[in-house]
Structure 1
Amino acid sequence: MKLTFTLALLFLLFASGQSARAQDFVYEPKNPSFGGGNTFNYAWLLSSAQAQNTIPDPAANSAAAQDPLASFASNLNQQVLAQLSNRLIASQFGQGAIRPGSYTVGNYQIQVTPGANGISVQVTDNSTGNQTTITIPNTP
């Protein structure tokens, strides 16, 4: 009797059961950088990544640790060197436009020649023989 009742119950469960239904899985990225993620997640993902970052930025530490007096001295040195180079160039080339001719500055030979397209400046490194040509176009 017990066996018959169990078999009848199983038969009723299988006969009255509905077919299983499922839906398609849809992939949705979370990060907006990976094409299609929700843009509102960007700030949260960025702050989460920054909070987990345990490696210090060496550039940030060097800028913060620099002494203001050392920064002032470096800035002053750069300005003095800039003024010195301006005076050297003015004494070598004169004031105003660059005059055609041949100039020697240290290991460099500088040849300035006017042309149809403008002024051509050819710089030759005497120690290596490397040459660079710069054309300054005519202004209308």
Structure 2
Amino acid sequence: MRVRFSRQGGGSRPGCIGLSVLAVAMMAAASANALAQDLVYTPINPSFGGNALNSSHLLGLANAQRDATASDADDELLGSAGSIADTQSSDADLFVRQLQGRLLSALAAQVTESIFGDNPQDNGLITFGDTTVSFERTLDSIALTITNTVDGTVTQIVVPQLVTSN
């Protein structure tokens, strides 16, 4: 920066007023307080405390970057062919699995009623199709034995029994 002083008027020192103004301006700039504040990190993701309005935007970005799709999962279930016959067979298989699940749930309810119901039994045997469930209550546990009569597999479950003192 180049400062040029010129003499105008009859002062005893050339550029004295200009130098004074410059000195005052430099001291004012040097003495100004520097203002700052703490930096605070605010997460963007609402799962980590960020703004909840960001959730739909972040979900859209995640879905756009995702490689796998629901149709990929369907292709794995249907196999490589993915024909209508495969879909119908898959629907039938799904129905059979759901029906079997409901029937097994009813069997489980029957076993539970026999063990814990209004008229609890100390032991019993319940047969449902190819599955046989036998149970025996002891002082501190209930032993269940589940037998598949077709292939002979046996599963044993021991459930601790809640013992309360009166």
Q: What is the TM-score with the length of structure 2 in the denominator? A: 0.41
Q: What is the TM-score with the length of structure 1 in the denominator? A: 0.46
Say which structure, 1 or 2, has more relative contact order (CA 8 Å, 6+ apart).
1
